[in-house]
Structure formats: structure tokens, C-alpha cells
Amino acid sequence: MPFGPCIRSMVWMPSNLMSTKTPDQKLQALWARGTEFLGCPHAIMGGAMSWLSERNLVSAISNAGGFGVIACGSMTPDLLGPEIAATQKMTDKPFGVNLITMHPLLDQLIDVCIEKGVSHVVLAGGLPAAASITRLKEAGVKVICFAPALAIAKRLIKNGADALVIEGAEAGGHIGPVATSVLAQEILPHISDVPVFIAGGIGRGEAIVSYLEMGADGCQLGTRFVCADECVAHPNFKKAFIRANARDALTTVQVDPKFPVIPVRALINEGTKRFNEAQREAAARVEKGEVELKDAQLEIEHFWAGALKRAAIDGDVENGSMMAGQSVGMVSEEQPTEQIIQDLVAQAVQCLEARESK
């Protein structure tokens, strides 16, 4: 992307000062706001992947200089507490916890995060209530929220969000309809109040540099870490990622306009067909009045949770859900988490070096 430093990023390092720095120093300057906010050397957040973003991968990302994030997903408070404690034993570096706003026990999960001294909480899966943000902030927790549009970004900041994540349709799992590059152009020039992190389709350091120069303060990657040595994903799941191309990660379709569901990007398999069948069955039950729309939609979310576990943990890559972002085409081998982060940083620095030589 041929974007130079915009006004937003120049708040942290004017271009006339940037030119006197080495490529490594330039990278540090570009994401200085992000690293300060996260409390880590590299403004690289680990995307919260259900079943996979647990103590092993999260601590490995944080120990390697990034920022790991526990995926609470459908965990209950009695499960989340021990997971946080176990992660704290494996790293003394900052990490966060991702909570789904539609979780029926959200308030109790927030209590657990506060009691365990979690420094950052990511509220995802819907527009968080201002009350949830306030509770966390009053306890000294930094709150990160997802912003799928500029208007929502402004509303979240007004409600107290400390930072935002802009995630585009290239990401894996539940996604919105707009590409990362478009969202970045829509939102970054207009948001300077809080740090902003970009997610969706990022698999190399050059892309990180491009978004930083557009005004982002860091990036979030999920798919890239699935094949980390420390990730507990089943070997079959990892092999499927290594074999896959970007075009293999497609989005699910909505089979009934009267039964809206959030599309999911995944590697197409028999599990995708099962999801379409589950949609039809749930829509029919709503139509007959057997279940409320909201409850049926929640059943679909439970379907995804179970299907993802079947593939990611149990290794059934034919019938389970193979959630993956389009950056899966850049996953070519299993590597230690530290090596993955070192590669990303090295690619970013080399990108800046190449520009100096022109």
C-alpha cells in the first residue's frame, strides 16, 4: 500500500524526525503508542481464537514480546478464573482476555477478570453496553472494543473505550462485510483519541508497516499463530492450514433472510454443509414459533463452538469447523511463537530498509 505517514501517526513521530532514525527505530516509533498501551515491545496482538487462545499460546505470544489474548468464548466464570491464573504462572508479561458481549454470564466474567487483576479486556461479538465498559474502567482495566464502522468507533470512544480494533472481512471466524483496507481508510483518518489496532488478512510484516503508516498503532493476527508450536490445535488442523491457499478460506452463506446470522470465514468442508442444515432447521423452528429468534441465533453460536472444537482440538477436519482467515495462504510451516513474531518484525524492518535504498 503506497501510503506515507499520515497526520495521525505524525503525532508520535514527525516525518522530519523519522528520516534520521534507523529502520528498526522507525518501526518502534510507528507503533510506540500501541506498545505503550499494551505494555509490550511489539504492538502485535494475538487474535482471540476459541479453544486455541488459551494459556499455552497466550503466554507464548506475550513472552515473545507480543500481546496474548485469552479467548473466553463460551467459558463459564469457574473455567475462566483458573485459565487466567494458569496463564499468569506461565508469563509475567501483560496479556488480555476477550469476552463475548452476548455471553449470558458477562457480568460474572467481568468480575473474574477484575478479581484476577487482568490488565486489558477485549469486548467482542457485539456492541458492548456502556455499563460494562464503565465497570471495567472503574476497576483500572483497559477496555478494547471492535469497531466495524466509523460511527460505531466514535460511539465506543464516547462510551469510554480505551482502544479499538478494526477487523475486516479477510479475518477468520465471525466477520463483517467490509474489507480491512477499506475500514482502515474509513476510520483511521478520523480517530485520534485512542490507539487503533488493525486486524484481518495480515500475515506479514510489510502489511503491518503499511497499516502503521496509515495511522494504526498496531495489528492483531490470529490465523498466523494457529501453526505455532505452542498452539494446542490438533496436528490435523495445523496440516490443513499449511496445505490451504487464501482462496480456500470462504465465508458461509445466509440461507434464510428472515434468520440473520453472522457469516463465518472458514476452510470449506462437510462441516460447512452441516452449518447450512443447522441454519435451515433453526429458521424453521423460529417460523413455527417453537423458539425465539434470539435463542435460535444463540443455538447457532453454540453450534459453531462445538464444530470448531471438533476440528481444532479433536482433529475432525472433515466435519468440524475450520475457521481460518485468508492469510492462511501465508502459513507454510509449524514454528515456535517467538520465531513467528521475530519474522514479522524482521519483515517490517526490511520493508522500511528497502524504502531507504530507493
239 is a domain residue: no
Decide if pLDDT at 54 tops 60.
yes
Q: Specify the CATH number for the domain of residue 179.
A: 3.20.20.70
Say if residue 26 is in the same domain as residue 85.
Answer: yes
340 is a domain residue: yes
Query: Residue 151: pLDDT band by 50, 70, 90 thresholds?
Result: very high
Decide if pLDDT at 93 tops 60.
yes
18 is a domain residue: yes
State the Cα–Cα distance between residues 279 and 209, nearest whole angstrom.
40
Could you tell me how many residues make up the chain?
Answer: 358
Decide if pLDDT at 129 tops 60.
yes
Contact 264, 321 (CB under 8 A): yes
| Percent of the chain's residues with pLDDT above 70 | 95
237 is a domain residue: no
Contact 204, 330 (CB under 8 A): yes
Q: Which pLDDT score, from 0 to 100, does residue 94 have?
A: 98
Q: Which pLDDT score, from 0 to 100, does residue 18 have?
A: 52
Say if residue 197 is in the same domain as residue 74.
Answer: yes
Say if residue 141 is in the same domain as residue 278.
Answer: no
- In eight-state DSSP terms, residue 226 is T
What average pLDDT does this structure show over 181-209?
97
Which residue in 240, 220, 211 sits closest to 61, CA to CA?
A: 220
State the Cα–Cα distance between residues 52 and 70, nearest whole angstrom.
9
Convert 249-266 to b/e letters by CB count within 10 Å (16 or more is b).
beebeeeeeebebbbbbb
Domain assignment of residue 136, given as a range: 7-232+333-353
Say if residue 182 is in the same domain as residue 202.
Answer: yes
Say if residue 91 is in the same domain as residue 226.
Answer: yes
Say if residue 310 is in the same domain as residue 188.
Answer: no
What average pLDDT does this structure show over 154-165?
98
pLDDT in tens, 213-263: 999 999 999 999 999 999 999 999 999 999 999 999 999 988 888 888 888
15 is a domain residue: yes
pLDDT in tens, 300-339: 888 888 999 999 999 999 999 999 999 999 999 999 999 9
Phi/psi-derived region of residue 173, left when phi > 0, alpha when psi is between -120 and 50, beta in every other case:
left
Which residue in 144, 136, 86, 90 sits closest to 113, CA to CA?
A: 136
Instruction: Pull the grid cell for residue 292.
Output: 425465539
Q: Give residues with Cβ within 8 angstroms of 124, minimum separation 6.
A: 48, 98, 99, 100, 101, 145, 146
pLDDT in tens, 5-26: 444 444 444 545 456 889 999 9
Say if residue 213 is in the same domain as residue 256.
Answer: no
Q: Give residues with Cβ within 8 angstroms of 296, minimum separation 6.
A: 259, 282, 283, 285, 286
H or E, element range at 9? helix 7-10
Say if residue 265 is in the same domain as residue 212.
Answer: no
What average pLDDT does this structure show over 281-290?
90
Query: Residue 356: pLDDT band by 50, 70, 90 thresholds?
Result: confident
pTM: 0.92
Decide if pLDDT at 4 tops 50.
no
Query: Residue 298: pLDDT band by 50, 70, 90 thresholds?
Result: confident
What average pLDDT does this structure show over 127-137?
97
Q: Tell me which amino acid residue 128 is.
A: P
148 is a domain residue: yes
254 is a domain residue: yes
Q: Give residues with Cβ within 8 angstroms of 123, minimum separation 6.
A: 99, 101, 132, 133, 143, 144, 145, 146
Q: ∠ CA 79-83-87 to the nearest 5 degrees?
A: 175
Say if residue 166 is in the same domain as residue 249.
Answer: no
Total of domains in the chain: 2
How far from the centroid of its chain's Cα atoms is residue 9's Cα? Answer: 22
How far from the centroid of its chain's Cα atoms is residue 332's Cα? Answer: 20
Say if residue 89 is in the same domain as residue 161.
Answer: yes
Decide if pLDDT at 295 tops 90.
no
Say if residue 214 is in the same domain as residue 289.
Answer: no
Q: Which pLDDT score, from 0 to 100, does residue 191 have?
A: 97
Q: What is the mean pLDDT of the chain?
A: 93
358 is a domain residue: no
Say if residue 193 is in the same domain as residue 284.
Answer: no
Decide if pLDDT at 91 tops 70.
yes
